[in-house]
Amino acid sequence: MELLRGVLQTIIAVCSGWLLLMMVYQLVIGLFGFKKEVKDYRDHDPESRFLVLIPAHNEEKVIGDIVRNLQEMDYPRELYDFYVIADNCTDHTAETARAAGAKVIETRKETPDSPTGKPIALRKALEALGDYQNRYDLMMIFDADNLMDKNLFREVNSQYLDKGKPDLIQCYLGAKNKKGVVAWFYYTGYTLTNRFFDLAKHRLGLNCVIGGTGFAMTTSYLHERGGWTTMSLTEDFEIQVEATMEGRRILWNHVARVYDEKPTSMRASIRQKIRWGQGHWFVALTNTGRLFRLAFQGKISAGEFISLLTYMYSLSAYLLVLVQAVATLALWAVTPDMQLFSFSFTGLLSGAVIFIYSYLFLFYLADWMDNRIAFSLRTIPVMVGGFFANTIVGIFNQLVGLIRCRDQQHWVKTEHEIRANTMQPREHRHPAKAKAA
């Protein structure tokens, strides 16, 4: 019995230690997000040539909006081409996109049992386009439900030229919708991490996170990789891990925004996050050994090693909370007179302060600094309730994702339906045009 108690106490201590280290790391990183100025590059005239790809599976409801958005970008039309990839569509996605003025590449499964999904659609599209590396400087990927700031290409072009042509640039990830508890929690999470995680990392010279949409990749790097080679359910995370371990630079752009439609139902959110968990765990587990070998060989900096490792296993926080709870219950069951719940005023106060600062305060500050949305007491109950609900649901999502992580072949689609007339991207005017007006 003593041995069992010792094992359980060790498990609890290890879980607590790792959770504490992750929390301290996040708090320290977040300190570099407070500076107001977010643009660290000079403006350049349009020069870079963009290839834009929009994977779309049965997206006839929203595809016309992003096509019209791309036609109205504040960038010379001869310097960018965009293609809608109608992937195994059974609706009118291709016809709707063409009618709106887009070029369309239609892809189909070779056999009924062939795997499907975004990575395969991108690979086939690039193969169909041929020598893209000679015709374009940068490739950007957007989801079919996205809208973009009209100055996005102009800002990415300037940052790309001014910062020595980095391999990847990720733009600010905004939200088309935030009404309802589920969508609101997505909005709060992205608003907080955009400034106090990605922007903060960028200021420290560390690679930021690739978000799956609204990122630019040099076509030379893409061609060097052999085209679109990622095959996991989280192709964005896979690229981030591989690029970082290869010594590539991933910059963050806090000025140009892409707006994504967030799920509004709990069921859709759970399905999406299980898919994200499957892909994330697969990429993390298959790349951990290589990451440590690179660190021991001195081929990756200490900062990038810690940054990537903590992000690779950030989802472990949910599972460690579960393991810690189970181990605590087991220890209570085998330990006479043990109090299951023993609180101290100091402990409760410390936990409350950390929660208020790292979640509530930083979100409301980021929302004001980046969106000019003032603090409202009415959102506090939704914030607190959403946090605890997300923790409970997150434990389930990540447990299922870990169990299913070997399966990277079955893509679960998130339905989109929000039309552009309910939300418009921000208008930006180039300084030269503003003076002339």
- Mean pLDDT calculated for residue range 411-436: 55
Of the pLDDT bands very low, low, confident and very high (cuts 50, 70, 90), residue 333 is confident
Residue 423 in this model has a pLDDT that exceeds 80: no
CA gap 187, 182 in Å, rounded: 9
Q: What is the pLDDT of residues 179-208, one digit of tens each?
A: 888 999 999 999 999 999 999 999 999 999
CA gap 349, 185 in Å, rounded: 25
**Domain extents in the chain:** 1-430
Going from the C-alpha of 56 to that of each of 62, 79, 236, 407, the distances in angstroms are 10, 23, 16, 22
* pLDDT of the residue at 212: 86
| Top-confidence residue, 374 or 415 | 374
Name the residue type at position 130.
Answer: G
Helical residues (DSSP H) of 31-83, grouped into ranges: 63-71
* pLDDT of the residue at 348: 80
Residue 117 in this model has a pLDDT that exceeds 90: no
Q: What is the pLDDT of residues 125-139, one digit of tens each?
A: 999 999 999 999 999
- Mean pLDDT calculated for residue range 291-312: 96
Kindly tell me the burial class for residue 66, based on how many C-beta atoms sit within 10 Å of its own C-beta (0-12, 13-18, 19 or more).
buried
Q: What is the pLDDT of residues 384-393, one digit of tens each?
A: 988 888 889 9
Are the C-beta atoms of 80 and 142 separated by less than 8 Å? no
E strands, 89-233, in order: 103-107, 138-141, 147-148, 168-175, 215-218
Residue 35 in this model has a pLDDT that exceeds 70: yes
**pTM assigned to the model:** 0.91
- Mean pLDDT calculated for residue range 317-322: 93
Length of the chain: 437
**CATH classification code of 1-430:** 3.90.550.10
Q: What is the pLDDT of residues 220-271, one digit of tens each?
A: 999 999 999 988 999 999 999 999 999 999 999 999 999 999 998 999 999 9
Closest CA to 37 of 255, 326, 261: 255
From first CA to last CA, the distance across the chain in angstroms is 81
Cβ-based neighbour number of residue 1 at 10 Å: 7
CA gap 360, 354 in Å, rounded: 10
Residue 435 in this model has a pLDDT that exceeds 90: no
Residue 432 in this model has a pLDDT that exceeds 50: no
Rg, the chain, Cα only: 23
Of the pLDDT bands very low, low, confident and very high (cuts 50, 70, 90), residue 427 is low
Q: What is the pLDDT of residues 92-101, one digit of tens each?
A: 999 999 999 9
Are the C-beta atoms of 60 and 92 separated by less than 8 Å? yes
Of the pLDDT bands very low, low, confident and very high (cuts 50, 70, 90), residue 433 is very low
* pLDDT of the residue at 342: 63
Residue 422 in this model has a pLDDT that exceeds 80: no
Of the pLDDT bands very low, low, confident and very high (cuts 50, 70, 90), residue 335 is confident
Percent of the chain at pLDDT > 70 equals 95
* pLDDT of the residue at 420: 59
CA gap 287, 265 in Å, rounded: 33
Of the pLDDT bands very low, low, confident and very high (cuts 50, 70, 90), residue 412 is confident
- Mean pLDDT calculated for residue range 49-67: 95
- The residues near 141 (Cβ < 8 Å, ≥ 6 apart) are 52, 53, 54, 55, 122, 213, 214, 215
Residue 371 in this model has a pLDDT that exceeds 80: yes
Residue 436 in this model has a pLDDT that exceeds 60: no
For 81: left if phi > 0, alpha if psi spans -120 to 50, otherwise beta; the answer is beta
Residue 288 in this model has a pLDDT that exceeds 60: yes
